[in-house]
RNA sequence: GGGAGGUUAGCUCAGUUGGUUUAGAGCGCUUGCUUCACACGCAAGAGGUCGAAGGUUCGAAUCCUUUACUUCCCA
């Protein structure tokens, strides 16, 4: 045989991917004669390269899409990328810096030119990588969130939502990322536990109406020189405190560097410790500025000292307190996280450097009472990991309430189903507590907000500058207003403000809301993505879909797990525990990698990736390859009669049952189980059993009828496997037979399960026959008898006809040379009992009578115990009354089986 | 701190409306095997008192209560 004993994927994969594309199999167009099946890809970042998460996600999508295509649906998988404003801008800025170009020296247009150049050069990498995985996307439909049409869609939506009063502009406390120097949305903030420090600061009390500044410093004792700053120290001495207590108010804070932005100290009005401070002011340590003591029940008496410094510019709660008490706002932080001139002290220092320095200075000034360890939480940027600053800033927001209500409704009533359903709870919690979405970003890479400011500071919102001008002329009642008088908002929109339109915008549903594609392909069917972007993206797509199409964007959402390493750790560059997907494909083949990923990917569970899984996938490819080699190598002798009626009928029954099971798994999005069903069908049923039953002896020909059935089965298996392993199945499809021009397994019809009328009996009979075979093989193993040594089998059974019908199979798989029926076995035999039947294998010289007796008696004892427990149950009156008839019947059957088995065992023991 | 999951064989997971000395799968493990498609293989086998305690029931991995551990979401 010329075919290699191991399958080599690399030779095969590129070839077939190219052929599929040449044939246009992945192209989809509105076709009223077919049912549409649509998937939009979660657009990867244009800066991205393929990682293991993409592999899993896109493998699942491809499996679904390929199956739908074979089912005769008009399968449309739309690929594309998103512009990832923060990540891409950072990347381009860094690249320019390497070339000696600073962003601030460029105009917006110049920068965007650079950025688009970069995108053209590198932006398609990840899509090409998907092709190596086998992704059957309609590449002609590739979209990019910042291309002109999609940009227009974003702007149209912005204008529309503004006109509907859902978008507003205002000063709000936002999450400021000092590293990317932009506001980000609540969803882009990740809370992290940290071990922080709580600083207890002394604010000098200025008595009501009196100027007693002589207390300022002289009553302070110098701190011990060796007192380590940062350690929890012992300064909290009662005597000293009480002495100082009357002159100082101690305030606990984790952010001492923000005292320069303090505008008050707040205490609870019910706190007796501070009642005397009514009308008092205190001096900010080091700075000396006087600020009032205010009273508010918001302050909790048991946190810190019960006194709270109020810094409205840098804390949301403080801001609200400030508004309530009419306090000023002092913002001491610059956009990059350094202190600005309003801070007066530490100007130009980074906030963390300033914190260290001020702690030191406070300590030296005797104004730091103590420092405590403090388990705290910091908010960090999902994208840059920088610590977020709450910052008051003028931003654009989208009101969520109106959009969230219907979007929650459709998930609650299962119009959109989440898989696994446990995510419904999470979704509900988010939807019910959703806050307005900050959609403006202080960046250039993205869609510039279509708001245009008039010279008088008012603004208009319009799709184009020209439209804005027309509106501005009306609004200002100034017909002489010129384009040059208008200034467009500098900010761009959040990338998710593009992505949430994706299922509509990729079909041009905004530009042309009634076009054939959108009407046909929308709503899409399945969405496959990670739960980490359930809110970012999935929820918002549902909102946009309902708002703009009055229809949900997809019906089923499959949420994958996270790919982790075998120790359960997230894959990261730092740990270096993430394999390069392309290396894996090169080493094990795309089919091997795809199946490897799916083997351990139950829905919603994290996938603990182990290269062994991919090895298993490769081994499976190889198994299939060798099954093909065997069949391909058979010579036909047309004169031979059909010799394998039983195996052929049985395998058909198995096959049909497996197809039904497979379809059921797909229905329930149990991808891992679906794969396992085919895996076992191929490996166990087809290779280990069926092929072994029908294969002719070495160098003997096969009859034509058997070959015809076997080839047909193999073809069906290739179809069932194709969604999982597209490459090897296509290769074998064409190796197996000469194919017509467009006859590819890629577009072959998906097999329909049609169980033969006698399936139940066929399967049950074969189970009994295979149990006999297993019994024989166990004897061989126990007695160390190789498979080539022929054995005789004597059966004592109430159903000899069954064994007679399947004698050929028993002979072949069991290595049995002679099957006879008798009423008793011979003493020099090894016996085994199945149900009520006894089987004897005469083995002169291999028999240890005593050991045989012990073994059989052990089995007997077990069977008797079993019988007893069943009898006990059947004897229980309450059981007889309450149990359903079928349960009762099953128990009676068990009893009968047990009795037959006991009788057979007793016989066998007697025969010894 | 609030909420939602999970805890079943060494590992990763199934287990549908409670039905049993027999709770399944894949991988791994053990033993034997150059059986002429495949050692990326073949055959056989071992391995679990279903986190713990209590309860309901004729009967509980499955229902209820308490508890421990763990993951995630929100604050």
Sole residue written with tokens 């910052």: A391
Percent of chain A whose pLDDT exceeds 70? 95
Nucleotide nearest A605, CA–C1', reads: B13
> CA nearest A688: which of A763, A758, A762, A773?
A773
What's the pLDDT score for residue A522?
97
Assigned token pair, A137: 């996307």
- Coil, strand or helix: which one is A878? helix
pLDDT band at A604 (very low <50, low <70, confident <90, very high): low
Comparing A236 with A136, the larger pLDDT belongs to A136
| Average pLDDT rounded to a whole number, residues A339-349 | 94
DSSP string, A170-207: EEEEEEEETTTTEEE-GGGEEEEEEEEEEEEEEEEEE-
Q: Where are the alpha helices (DSSP H) in A99-178?
A: 108-122, 125-133, 148-163
Largest CA distance in chain A: 122
- pLDDT, tens digit (0-9, with 9 covering 90-100), for A852-881: 888 888 888 888 878 887 887 777 777 877
Question: Is A10 a residue whose pLDDT tops 90?
Answer: no
| Average pLDDT rounded to a whole number, residues A330-358 | 94
| Dist CA A146 CA A123 (whole Å) | 12
pTM of the model: 0.91
Strand partners, A559: A529
| Average pLDDT rounded to a whole number, residues A261-278 | 91
| Dist CA A822 CA A662 (whole Å) | 43
Top mean pLDDT of A64-73, A318-327, A378-387, A812-821 is at A64-73
What's the pLDDT score for residue A799?
86
Percent of chain A whose pLDDT exceeds 90? 66
Question: Is A586 a residue whose pLDDT tops 70?
Answer: yes
pLDDT band at A2 (very low <50, low <70, confident <90, very high): low
Question: Is A241 a residue whose pLDDT tops 50?
Answer: no
A263 within 8 A of A323, measured Cβ to Cβ = no
User: How far, in Å, is the CA of A730 from the C1' of nucleotide B45?
Assistant: 38
User: How far, in Å, is the CA of A429 from the C1' of nucleotide B5?
Assistant: 14
Question: Is A309 a residue whose pLDDT tops 80?
Answer: yes
| Average pLDDT rounded to a whole number, residues A634-647 | 92
Question: Is A246 a residue whose pLDDT tops 70?
Answer: no
Among A26-35, A370-379, A458-467, A483-492, name the one with the lowest average pLDDT: A370-379
- pLDDT, tens digit (0-9, with 9 covering 90-100), for A192-233: 888 889 999 999 998 664 444 333 333 333 333 333 333 333
Contacts of A44 (CB under 8 A, 6+ apart): A54, A81, A82, A126
| Dist CA A489 CA A484 (whole Å) | 14
Nucleotide nearest A567, CA–C1', reads: B11
pLDDT band at A609 (very low <50, low <70, confident <90, very high): confident
- pLDDT, tens digit (0-9, with 9 covering 90-100), for A94-121: 999 999 999 999 999 999 999 999 999 8
| Average pLDDT rounded to a whole number, residues A708-714 | 96
Assigned token pair, A764: 């049950």
| Average pLDDT rounded to a whole number, residues A315-327 | 90
Nucleotide nearest A774, CA–C1', reads: B44
Assigned token pair, A568: 């359960």
**ipTM value:** 0.95
Torsion of CA A662, A664, A669, A672, to 10 degrees: -30
Q: Backbone phi, then psi, for A264, in 5-degree steps? A: -170, 165
Q: Which residue is nearest to nucleotide B59 (CA to C1')?
A: A879
Q: Which residue is nearest to nucleotide B4 (CA to C1')?
A: A425
- pLDDT, tens digit (0-9, with 9 covering 90-100), for A39-83: 999 999 998 888 899 999 999 999 999 999 999 999 999 999 999
Contacts of A455 (CB under 8 A, 6+ apart): A485
A29 within 8 A of A141, measured Cβ to Cβ = no
- pLDDT, tens digit (0-9, with 9 covering 90-100), for A453-501: 999 999 999 999 999 999 999 999 999 999 999 999 999 999 999 999 9
User: How far, in Å, is the CA of A520 from the C1' of nucleotide B36?
Assistant: 57
Strand partners, A843: none
Among A238-247, A268-277, A455-464, name the one with the lowest average pLDDT: A238-247
Assigned token pair, A787: 């498979």
Contacts of A804 (CB under 8 A, 6+ apart): none
| Dist CA A821 CA A804 (whole Å) | 10
Strand partners, A328: none
- pLDDT, tens digit (0-9, with 9 covering 90-100), for A668-706: 899 999 999 999 999 999 999 999 999 998 888 999 999
Find and list the nucleotides of strand B having atoms within 7 Å of a protein beta carbon.
2-5, 11-14, 19-22, 25-28, 31-33, 35-45, 57-59, 72-75
User: How far, in Å, is the CA of A778 from the C1' of nucleotide B41?
Assistant: 19
The answer on whether A573 is annotated among ligand-binding residues is yes
Comparing A854 with A272, the larger pLDDT belongs to A272
Nucleotide nearest A7, CA–C1', reads: B40
Question: Is A431 a residue whose pLDDT tops 60?
Answer: yes
């Amino acid at each position: 045989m010329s075919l290699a004993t191991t399958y080599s994927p690399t030779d095969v994969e590129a070839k077939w991917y190219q052929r599929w594309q040449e044939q246009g199999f992945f192209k989809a167009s509105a076709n009223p004669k077919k049912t549409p099946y649509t998937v939009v890809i979660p657009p990867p970042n244009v800066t991205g390269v393929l990682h293991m998460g993409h592999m899993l996600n896109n493998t699942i999508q491809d499996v679904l899409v390929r199956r739908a295509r074979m089912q005769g649906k008009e399968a449309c998988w739309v690929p594309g990328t998103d512009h990832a404003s923060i990540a891409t801008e950072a990347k381009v800025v860094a690249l320019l810096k390497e070339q000696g170009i600073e962003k601030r020296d460029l105009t917006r247009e110049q920068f965007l030119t650079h950025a688009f150049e970069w995108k053209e050069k590198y932006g398609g990498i990840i899509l090409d990588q998907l092709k190596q995985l086998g992704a059957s996307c309609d590449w002609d439909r590739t979209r990019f969130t910042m291309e002109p049409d999609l940009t227009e869609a974003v702007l149209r939506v912005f204008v529309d939502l503004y006109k509907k009063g859902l978008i507003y502009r205002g000063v709000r406390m936002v999450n400021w990322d000092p590293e990317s120097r932009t506001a980000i949305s609540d969803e882009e903030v990740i809370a992290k536990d940290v071990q922080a420090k709580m600083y207890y600061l002394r604010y000098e009390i200025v008595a009501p109406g009196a100027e007693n500044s002589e207390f300022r410093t002289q009553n302070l004792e110098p701190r011990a020189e060796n007192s380590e700053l940062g350690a929890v120290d012992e300064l909290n001495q009662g005597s000293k405190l009480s002495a100082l207590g009357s002159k100082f108010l101690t305030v606990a804070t984790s952010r001492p560097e923000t005292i320069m932005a303090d505008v008050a100290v707040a205490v609870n009005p019910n706190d007796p410790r501070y009642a005397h401070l009514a009308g008092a002011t205190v001096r900010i340590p080091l700075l000396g500025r006087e600020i009032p003591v205010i009273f508010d029940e918001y302050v909790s008496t048991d946190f810190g000292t019960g006194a709270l410094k109020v810094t409205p510019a840098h804390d949301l709660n403080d801001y609200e307190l400030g508004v309530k008490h009419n306090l000023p706002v002092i913002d001491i932080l610059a956009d990059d996280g350094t202190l600005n001139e309003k801070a007066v002290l530490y100007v130009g220092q980074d906030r963390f450097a300033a914190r260290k320095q001020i702690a030191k200075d406070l300590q030296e000034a005797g104004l730091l009472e103590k420092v405590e360890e403090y388990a705290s939480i910091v908010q960090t940027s999902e994208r840059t990991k920088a610590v977020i600053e709450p910052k008051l800033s003028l931003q654009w927001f989208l009101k969520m309430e109106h959009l969230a209500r219907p979007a929650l409704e459709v998930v609650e009533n299962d119009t959109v189903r989440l898989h696994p359903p446990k995510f419904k709870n999470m979704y509900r919690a988010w939807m019910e507590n959703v806050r307005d979405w900050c959609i403006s970003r202080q960046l250039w890479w993205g869609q510039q907000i279509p708001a245009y400011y008039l010279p008088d500071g008012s603004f208009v919102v319009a799709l184009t500058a020209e439209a804005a001008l027309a509106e501005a002329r009306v609004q200002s009642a100034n017909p002489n207003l010129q384009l040059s008088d208008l200034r467009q908002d500098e900010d761009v929109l959040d990338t998710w403000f593009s992505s949430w339109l994706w299922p509509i915008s990729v079909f041009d549903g905004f530009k042309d809301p009634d076009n054939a594609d959108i009407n046909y392909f929308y709503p899409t069917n399945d969405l496959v993505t990670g739960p980490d972007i359930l809110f970012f993206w999935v929820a918002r797509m549902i909102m946009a879909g309902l708002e703009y199409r009055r229809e949900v964007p997809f019906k089923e959402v499959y949420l994958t797990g996270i790919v982790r390493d075998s120790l359960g750790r997230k894959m990261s560059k730092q740990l270096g525990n993430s394999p390069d997907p392309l290396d894996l494909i090169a080493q094990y083949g795309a089919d091997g990698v795809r199946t490897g990923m799916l083997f351990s990917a139950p829905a919603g569970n994290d996938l603990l990736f182990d290269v062994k899984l991919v090895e298993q996938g490769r081994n499976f490819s190889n198994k299939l390859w060798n099954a093909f080699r065997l069949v391909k190598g058979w010579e036909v002798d047309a004169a031979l009669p059909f010799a394998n009626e039983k195996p052929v009928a049985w395998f058909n029954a198995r096959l049909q049952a497996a197809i039904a099971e497979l379809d059921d798994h797909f229905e329930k999005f149990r991808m891992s189980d679906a794969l396992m069903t085919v895996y076992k069908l191929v490996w166990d049923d087809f290779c280990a059993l069926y092929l072994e039953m029908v294969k002719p002896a070495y160098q003997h020909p096969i009859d034509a009828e058997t070959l015809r059935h076997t080839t047909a089965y193999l073809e069906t298996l290739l179809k069932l496997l194709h969604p999982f392993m597209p490459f090897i199945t296509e290769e074998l499809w064409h190796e197996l037979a000469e194919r017509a021009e467009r006859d590819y397994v890629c577009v072959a019809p998906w097999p329909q399960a049609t169980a033969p009328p006698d399936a139940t009996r066929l399967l049950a009979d074969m189970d009994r026959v295979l149990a006999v075979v297993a019994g024989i093989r166990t004897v061989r193993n126990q007695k160390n008898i190789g498979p080539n040594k022929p054995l005789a089998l004597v059966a004592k059974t109430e159903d000899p006809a069954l064994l007679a019908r399947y004698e050929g199979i028993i002979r072949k798989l069991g290595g049995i040379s002679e099957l006879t029926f008798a009423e008793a076995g011979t003493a020099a035999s090894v016996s085994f009992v199945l149900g009520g039947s006894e089987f004897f294998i005469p083995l002169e010289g291999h028999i240890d009578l005593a050991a045989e007796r012990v073994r059989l008696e052990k089995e007997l004892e077990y069977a008797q115990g079993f019988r007893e427990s069943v009898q006990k149950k059947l004897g229980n009156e309450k059981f007889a009354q309450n149990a359903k008839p079928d349960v009762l019947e099953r128990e009676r059957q068990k009893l009968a089986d047990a009795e037959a088995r006991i009788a057979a065992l007793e016989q066998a023991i007697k025969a010894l």
